[in-house]
Amino acid sequence: MKRLTGDASSGRAASGFSRREFLRGSGAAAAATALAGASQVAAAEGDERGDGVVRGKVTIVLDVNGAKHEVQAQPRTTLLDVLRNQLNLTGAKPVSADPSSGAATVLIDDKPACAASTLVLQAVGKKIRTVESLGGAKLDAVPAAFTSADAEQCGFCTPGFVVAVRAFLNEHPKATDEQVRSGLNGNICRCGTYANIIRAISIVRGG
């Protein structure tokens, strides 16, 4: 696939979650981070046996687009699943289970992240922003420029691109086109609208 650049233990944690349970479903790196966030889980209904191992759903509170949402999730549930299927925020797209397409890009504490490969427990206690936060009455300059530059065809990649561009320009407001291409290398447009995406970014930068 073409990119913008052209090439593309069984120990029990203090929280009560079993490290083995997490490792079984999610992988070591994700489990370690999830355990850190698990202390903020509001209730562990899945701990039916009283052994501290959460086997079912838990109730957690997420900070999404400036509002607190109580949701239900299993330890293996992804952030993307909760956003789309519980909060009806369908901008981020389920293209792949890894970050290779960029279609599931959201902001977590102002940093771009792949919601499809982020366990929802990893997002507890953090500020999550989706592409929906850039629309509405206070339309952000990035989606506005995507529209005026006709920077989409099917539009499937667009929400991920818009979020990634917003995050990139926040960090690099004066970036050159070459720096933009390099910085957005993690997002793919199968329709090949890259030239117009670059034009949209140029509009946001003021020409």
Binding site for ligand FES (CB under 6 A): 152-158, 189-191, 193
71 versus 189: smaller Cβ distance to ligand FES = 189
Beta-strand relationship, 111-114 and 105-108 = antiparallel
Question: Which contiguous run of DSSP H or E holds residue 108?
Answer: strand 105-108
- The distance of closest approach from Cβ of residue 105 to ligand FES in the complex, given in angstroms and rounded to an integer, is 13
Beta-strand relationship, 105-108 and 127-129 = antiparallel
- The distance of closest approach from Cβ of residue 188 to ligand FES in the complex, given in angstroms and rounded to an integer, is 7
31 versus 151: smaller Cβ distance to ligand FES = 151
- Residue at token pair 């990119």: 3
Q: Which residues pair with 61 in a beta bridge?
A: 70
Query: How large is the greatest C-alpha to C-alpha distance in the chain, in angstroms?
Result: 62
- The distance of closest approach from Cβ of residue 194 to ligand FES in the complex, given in angstroms and rounded to an integer, is 9
8 versus 191: smaller Cβ distance to ligand FES = 191
18 versus 196: smaller Cβ distance to ligand FES = 196
- The distance of closest approach from Cβ of residue 89 to ligand FES in the complex, given in angstroms and rounded to an integer, is 20
28 versus 154: smaller Cβ distance to ligand FES = 154
CA atoms in the 13 A half-sphere facing the CB of 163? 29
Which one-letter DSSP state was computed for residue 123?
G
Between CA 207 and CA 200 the distance in angstroms is 9
- The distance of closest approach from Cβ of residue 147 to ligand FES in the complex, given in angstroms and rounded to an integer, is 13
Beta-strand relationship, 58-64 and 127-129 = parallel
